[in-house]
Structure 1
Amino acid sequence: MARRERLKRAGLIGALVGVAATGVAVGVTAERLLLRRRRAPEADDTQAGEWFRPLPCDEAVAVPTDFGVDLHVEIVDPVDGNELDLGPLDDVDPTLIFIHGFCLDMGTFYFQRAELTRLGEHRMVFYDQPGHGRSGKLADGEYTLDDLADGLVRVIDECAPDGPLVLIGHSMGGMTIMALAEQFPDLFGDRVKGVVLVSTSAGKLDEVAFGMPDYVARIAKPLMPVVIGGGKLTSNMVDNIRRASTDLGWLITRRYGFGSEEPDRALVSYVERMNSRTDTVVVARYLRTIYTHARYPALEALKRTKVLVVCGEDDKVTPPDHSAEICRILPDASFVAVPGAGHVALLERPDIVNAALLEFLEQIY
Structure 2
Amino acid sequence: MARKKAAHGRGHTAGIVGAVIGLAAAGTAAGVAVSRIAARRVRASQLGDAGELAAELVAAHLREDDPLGTASRKADRSATVQADDGVLLHVEEIGPRDAGLTVVFVHGYTLSMASWTFQRRALAAELATANGHRPDVRLVFYDQRGHGASGRGAAERSTIEQLARDLDAVLEARAPRGRVVLVGHSMGGMTIMGLASLRPELFGSRVAAAALISTSSGNLADLSFGLPELLTRVRAAFFPVAAWTMRRRPAFAERTRRLAADLVSAVTHSLSFASTDVPPALGHYVDSMIGGTPVDVIAEFYPALAGLDETGSLEPLRVVPTLVLTGDKDKMIPKEHSALIMERLGRAGDSRATYIEVPDAGHMVLLEKPEDVTAALTALLRTVGAGTSPRR
C-alpha deviation, 1:11, in angstroms: 3.8
1:188-238 deviation digits (Å, cap 9, x = unpaired)? 111000000000000001111001112211221232222333354321011
Structure 1 residues 165 and 198 mapped into 2: Cα distance closer, same or farther (>3 Å)? same
Match of 1:338 in 2: 358
1:258-297 deviation digits (Å, cap 9, x = unpaired)? 1113422111110111112211101110110000001111
SS state of the match for residue 60, structure 1?
strand
C-alpha deviation, 1:244, in angstroms: 4.1
Match of 1:239 in 2: 254
Match of 2:75 in 1: 57
132-141 or 101-110, which deviates more: 132-141
8-17 or 265-274, which deviates more: 8-17
Match of 2:321 in 1: 306
Structure 1 residues 66 and 3 mapped into 2: Cα distance closer, same or farther (>3 Å)? farther
- Does the CA-based 8 Å contact 1:169-1:197 persist in structure 2? yes
C-alpha deviation, 1:48, in angstroms: 9.0
- Does the CA-based 8 Å contact 1:242-1:276 persist in structure 2? no
SS state of the match for residue 221, structure 2?
helix
Match of 1:96 in 2: 103
2:16 paired residue among 6, 12, 28: 12
- Does the CA-based 8 Å contact 1:10-1:238 persist in structure 2? no
Normalised by the length of structure 1, the TM-score is: 0.85
C-alpha deviation, 1:111, in angstroms: 0.5
Structure 1 residues 295 and 220 mapped into 2: Cα distance closer, same or farther (>3 Å)? same
1:325 paired residue among 336, 340, 360: 340
Distance 1:327 1:51 in 2: 30
User: After the TM superposition, which residues 1-365 of structure 1 pair with which residues of structure 2 at under 5 Å, given as runs?
Assistant: 8-23=12-27, 47=57, 55-78=73-96, 93-120=100-127, 121=135, 122-141=137-156, 143-331=158-346, 332=351, 333-365=353-385
- Does the CA-based 8 Å contact 2:18-2:260 persist in structure 1? no
Distance 1:116 1:48 in 2: 13
Match of 1:35 in 2: none
C-alpha deviation, 1:9, in angstroms: 4.1
Match of 1:42 in 2: none
SS state of the match for residue 206, structure 1?
coil
C-alpha deviation, 1:18, in angstroms: 3.4
Distance 1:322 1:289 in 2: 17
Structure 1 residues 142 and 302 mapped into 2: Cα distance closer, same or farther (>3 Å)? same
Q: Which amino acid is 2:19 matched to?
A: A
- Does the CA-based 8 Å contact 1:21-1:102 persist in structure 2? no
Structure 1 residues 98 and 250 mapped into 2: Cα distance closer, same or farther (>3 Å)? same
Stretches of structure 1 that go unaligned for 5 or more consecutive residues are 26-38, 40-45, 86-91
Q: Which amino acid is 1:364 matched to?
A: V
How high is the sequence identity, in percent, across the aligned residues? 39
C-alpha deviation, 1:61, in angstroms: 1.1
Structure 1 residues 9 and 154 mapped into 2: Cα distance closer, same or farther (>3 Å)? farther
353-362 or 52-61, which deviates more: 52-61
C-alpha deviation, 1:138, in angstroms: 2.3
64-73 or 48-57, which deviates more: 48-57
RMSD between aligned alpha carbons?
Answer: 2.5
- Does the CA-based 8 Å contact 1:17-1:283 persist in structure 2? no
- Does the CA-based 8 Å contact 2:182-2:207 persist in structure 1? yes
C-alpha deviation, 1:22, in angstroms: 3.3
- Does the CA-based 8 Å contact 2:358-2:372 persist in structure 1? yes
- Does the CA-based 8 Å contact 1:204-1:292 persist in structure 2? yes
C-alpha deviation, 1:313, in angstroms: 0.4
- Does the CA-based 8 Å contact 2:216-2:337 persist in structure 1? yes
47-56 or 354-363, which deviates more: 47-56
C-alpha deviation, 1:141, in angstroms: 3.5
Distance 1:102 1:71 in 2: 15
Stretches of structure 2 that go unaligned for 5 or more consecutive residues are 30-40, 42-55, 63-69, 128-134, 386-392
- Does the CA-based 8 Å contact 1:101-1:169 persist in structure 2? yes
Structure 1 residues 217 and 191 mapped into 2: Cα distance closer, same or farther (>3 Å)? same
1:148-202 deviation digits (Å, cap 9, x = unpaired)? 0010011111110111100000000000011111111111111000000000000
Structure 1 residues 285 and 4 mapped into 2: Cα distance closer, same or farther (>3 Å)? farther
Structure 1 residues 142 and 10 mapped into 2: Cα distance closer, same or farther (>3 Å)? farther
- Does the CA-based 8 Å contact 2:28-2:302 persist in structure 1? no
Q: Which amino acid is 1:276 matched to?
A: G
Q: Which amino acid is 2:103 matched to?
A: L
1:11-30 deviation digits (Å, cap 9, x = unpaired)? 434433334443269xxxxx
Paired residues, number: 335
